[in-house]
Structure 1
Amino acid sequence: MPENQWPMWEVFVRSARGLSHVHAGSLHAPDATMALRNARDLYTRRNEGTSVWVVPTSAVSTSDPDSKGGFFESPQGKNYRHATYYDKSEGVPHL
């Protein structure tokens, strides 16, 4: 990163209580405090947010989009990971 460029931050906004934070975008800022202020100004202008998270882009780990198949496919012989593998229990009303 060039010395004259501020670090990049990823911004996550929660629109209402009980909902998940959603990635809203990215921005440059010198520190976390300024990143939060800038994120508020850029991504919650119309009072659509209840919470904002900022994370340095360098702290985010991602999967490789080119290895999608091998990374996300369910391994053979691991059917127990899916609810359809199990039989419905008798006498349990909430299942």
Structure 2
Amino acid sequence: MTNKSTNHNVLYEVFVRSARGLEHKHVGSLRADSQEQALTYARDVYIRRSEGVSIWVVKSTHIHASQESDVANFYDPMDDKPYRHAQFISLPDAVNNM
């Protein structure tokens, strides 16, 4: 008996857009043999009850992210720009919750 390969080797990250005009949000991960199969699996798992209007599947190996420990290298410190802090912004009385 030959063993057909059912091993889904490629890890995909799944992003779903819930409504037109909104952004895609990461909803989970899955393994599949191809992009088409990953889209099918994502549809079946993440939007089977019409929870979304668009799906993205991206190979995990194609995602490059910074680490929390690298934050100092990516962002200019705000301490030398106090005028950007919210304490210097005055809101009109009509705006009571922001």
- TM-score, with length taken from structure 2: 0.68
Give the 3-state SS of the residue equivalent to 1:11 in structure 2: strand
Query: Which residue does 1:92 correspond to in 2?
Result: none
Query: Which residue does 1:74 correspond to in 2?
Result: 76
Distance in structure 1 (CA, Å) of the matches to 2:32 and 2:8: 9
Query: Which residue does 1:54 correspond to in 2?
Result: 57
Query: Which residue does 2:46 correspond to in 1?
Result: 43
Instruction: Give 5+ residue unaligned stretches, structure 2.
Output: 1-6, 87-98
Give the 3-state SS of the residue equivalent to 1:26 in structure 2: strand
Instruction: Give 5+ residue unaligned stretches, structure 1.
Output: 85-95
How many residue pairs get matched?
A: 78
Q: Deviations over 1:23-77 (max 9, x none)?
A: 0100000010000000001111211110000000000001012233x0454247x
Stretches of 4+ aligned residues off by more than 3 angstroms: none
Correspondence 1:13 to 2:16 = yes
What's the Cα RMSD here?
2.5
- TM-score, with length taken from structure 1: 0.69
Identity %: 45
Give the 3-state SS of the residue equivalent to 1:61 in structure 2: coil
Distance in structure 2 (CA, Å) of the matches to 1:22 and 1:53: 9
Correspondence 1:29 to 2:43 = no
For 1:33, give the aligned amino acid: E
| 1:18 CA drift (Å) | 0.3
